[in-house]
Amino acid sequence: MDQYVVIGNPIEQSRSPLIHRQFAIQTKQQMDYQKQLVALDQFVSFIEQFKASGGQGCNITVPFKEQAFLIADQLSARAEAAGAVNTLTFKDDGTIIGDNTDGQGLVGDILANNIKIVGRKILLIGAGGAARGCILPLLAQSPSCLTITNRSFDKAKLLSDHFKTAGAIEAVALNELENSYDIIINSTSASLSNQLPNIDRSVISTAQCCYDMVYDAQETCFLAWARELGVPTRLDGLGMLVGQAAESFRLWRGVTPATEDVLASLRAMI
């Protein structure tokens, strides 16, 4: 049976095995998917051992995405742009293919909730790895403009400059944001510590959709704030998690699984 694994440190919280097992049942794929805690200095040796034992692919979580980027023999355009890899595929000739499916997971979830991206103004809060990984897939949907804002304007500017040839993108300081963004995406982990981004409430209140990349059993503080300010559509990152897994599954197995039932079952568990 084909072997797959998700690795990270920590890893106990990962829901990827549950998601991929449901995908496998749904699509009648014969595969085994486990999770594995890997010591911080053992990433490369684990990959070599798993590949040598016949493993077909790996998902990569914190803190190994940059190391996965470095060991890949070939990179997809979105992995190259993200500077990080969350999906490794091991080919029969020994080649390691690196990809990043996080941004596709985000975009797919937004579209699945009947939110149009094409022609819309998007505000992306944060300029870290999570933001970087979703910029190219977002620009591929042809928004009218993608604005990046961050506590450090310099980091936002570096990111917008890096992607300036890929589409309409700009960096704007937190205190200079407009009140006309259609979609606002919080790529920071601030909600995990119950903190809100330092953005004027008028910027949030005029949005049609607010998206928080993190998720919890309860509504995140960012989405609760958006609800109080009257934002009609509010989405957390659970759909992104399932969506990025579906894209990894497609890369490995050549079939795209349906995500609705898997997302619903996962939502009921948290």
Asked if residue 270 has pLDDT above 90, the reply is no
Find the catalytic residue in 28, 51, 65, 164: 65
Residue partners of 150: CB distance under 8 A and separation at least 6: 125, 126, 127, 131, 156, 171, 174
Asked if 107 and 230 sit in the same domain, the reply is yes
Asked if 146 and 197 sit in the same domain, the reply is yes
Is residue 108 very low, low, confident or very high in pLDDT (cuts 50, 70, 90)? Answer: very high
CA distances to 127, 199, 222 from 218, in Å: 25, 22, 11
Asked if 119 and 15 sit in the same domain, the reply is no
Asked if residue 217 has pLDDT above 90, the reply is no
Which residue bears the tokens 């944060």? 126
Is 155 tagged catalytic?
no
Is residue 212 very low, low, confident or very high in pLDDT (cuts 50, 70, 90)? Answer: very high
How far is 246 from 261, CA to CA, in rounded Å? 12
Asked if 25 and 42 sit in the same domain, the reply is yes
Asked if 132 and 176 sit in the same domain, the reply is yes
How far is 170 from 160, CA to CA, in rounded Å? 5
Q: Residue 67's pLDDT is what?
A: 96
Mean pLDDT for the chain overall: 96
CATH code at position 219: 3.40.50.720
Mean pLDDT of 18-38: 97
Helices of type H across 83-220: 102-112, 129-139, 153-162, 201-205
- Reported as a single tens digit per residue, the pLDDT across 122-175 is 999 999 989 999 999 999 999 999 999 999 999 999 999 999 999 999 999 999
Asked if 112 and 128 sit in the same domain, the reply is yes
Asked if 116 and 184 sit in the same domain, the reply is yes
How far is 193 from 115, CA to CA, in rounded Å? 28
Residue 93: count other Cβ atoms within 10 Å of its Cβ.
6
Handedness of CA 220, 222, 225, 226 (dihedral sign): negative
Mean pLDDT of 90-105: 96
Burial class (CB in 10 A: 0-12, 13-18, 19+), 216: middle
CATH code at position 11: 3.40.50.10860
Asked if 112 and 208 sit in the same domain, the reply is yes
Asked if 188 and 212 sit in the same domain, the reply is yes
Asked if 225 and 245 sit in the same domain, the reply is no
**CA angle centred on 70, ends 69 and 76, rounded to 5°:** 40
Q: Residue 36's pLDDT is what?
A: 97
Q: Determine contact, residues 202/141, Cβ cutoff 8 Å.
A: no
Asked if 118 and 34 sit in the same domain, the reply is no
CA distances to 83, 189, 213, 269 from 241, in Å: 19, 15, 9, 14
Burial class (CB in 10 A: 0-12, 13-18, 19+), 26: middle
Helices of type H across 55-181: 65-71, 77-82, 102-112, 129-139, 153-162
3-class secondary structure, 232: coil
Q: How many domains does the chain have?
A: 2
Identity at 52, one-letter amino acid code:
A
Domain with 218 in it: 103-236
Q: Determine contact, residues 238/212, Cβ cutoff 8 Å.
A: no
Q: Report cis status (omega within 30 of 0) of the bond before 257.
A: no
Share of the chain above pLDDT 90, in %: 96
- Residue 243 belongs to what H/E stretch? helix 238-253
Asked if 228 and 108 sit in the same domain, the reply is yes
